[in-house]
Amino acid sequence: MRVGAWIFWGCFFVGCALILGLWSWPAYKHHQYTQSGQRAAELGAQLAFTENSYRARTGVFTADFSQLEPFLITPVPCELSASPFVCEGYIYTLEDPYWLLASQQSDPQVYIAFDLEHGFVDCSHAPQALLRTPVCSAFE
């Protein structure tokens, strides 16, 4: 093969890879956004369960999430702290009197609310892809 043909095919494959990469970037970002919401919902459900365990022992919910450490069944991905607890792009707060909110850091209008007293999850302001997941149904 001549050098010109190698250059042509090299440029062709690099161009195709570049076009494919640019074409798949929005899908990759959407997948990342959905996965982040899923992890936030799972962590929120874990914190809600732990809050209820804490309440069973002390009689009250706590806004200081670091006090939940002894009640955790599985470890959480970030070190627990007082409210607001920030982990993986979401802010977790205990709202008056028994709501646990997981709000997205980059867009606080996107959030998941956990009703600790009645045991359900309000996903009406969650990312659309999260609405079809099991965590957006009642939990005990």
CA distances from 93 to 20, 41, 90, 102, 138 (A): 41, 13, 10, 7, 20
pLDDT, tens digit, 9 for 90 and up, residues 64-92: 999 999 999 889 999 899 889 999 889 99
DSSP H or E stretch at residue 122: strand 120-122
Decide: pTM greater than 0.85. Answer: no
Cα of 137 vs its chain's centroid, Å: 16
| Residue extents of the structural domains in the chain | 38-136
Contacting residues for 128 by C-beta, under 8 A, at least 6 apart: none
Placement of tokens 């996903």 in the chain: 123
Contact call for residues 133 and 115 (beta carbons, < 8 A): no
Query: Nearest-CA neighbor of 119 among 137, 101, 95?
Result: 137
Number of H helices, E strands in the chain: 1, 5
pLDDT, tens digit, 9 for 90 and up, residues 81-131: 988 999 988 999 998 778 998 888 888 888 888 889 888 888 777 766 666
Res 18: pLDDT = 64
Contacting residues for 104 by C-beta, under 8 A, at least 6 apart: 37, 40, 89, 90, 91, 110, 111
